[in-house]
Amino acid sequence: MTASTRIAPVVLCLALGGSLATAQTTPRPPEPLLGRFHTWLKGGSDDLNAEASRAWGTDHERYLALEMYHGSPTGLYLGGELGHSGAGKGTTDSGNPVRDLDFWWLELNEKIAFDAHHGLTFDVGLGLALFYVEGQEVTTQGGQEFTDPLADVGLGAQVLGDFNWRRRHLLLGLDARYQQAFDVININYSNLRLGAHLGLVF
């Protein structure tokens, strides 16, 4: 066996060993601040625009919403929200009572998270929304009550901000959202939502 044939296997082993070592020591990308996926349940107060308040006879209502987001190492998150605000009853601008009044919305949002250290983060973002309103209008004729279904649908856009405290897989925080929203007949449903949330990081 010549010297060159004895050296070749050694060079090959060294090359393979170096490649394996490089592969094993390549650092994994850092986990996003709010995890690769997070979800939370939030609730608070929904303050409707005066125009929508006159149309439905309600202004400050409690809401509940569920949010889910998927994150990237850059700190960008894409996700959505399903929310509900139930006033129960109101009064139309014509003076008729409304029963079983419900507001529903579905949002698609993008946000970016920033590290405030010690487990604290804040994020800001924007998005688009679809909303639906329904109720039963009550009228009286000849001493008898009649109910007529009411419904409205529209589109909106919102800016949002959240402040979070993370402890391992647990998230606690505060959130704020302002939404510009209009229905198909140009009633202004713009609103401000303030609340708190509790969630999990994965």
pLDDT at 113 over 80: yes
Q: At residue 26, what are phi and psi to the nearest 5 degrees?
A: -65, 120
Looking at residues 105-111, what average pLDDT do you find? 98
In this prediction, residue 58 has a pLDDT band, given cuts at 50, 70 and 90, of confident
pTM of the model: 0.78
Task: Determine the length of the chain.
Answer: 202
* pLDDT(27) > 80: no
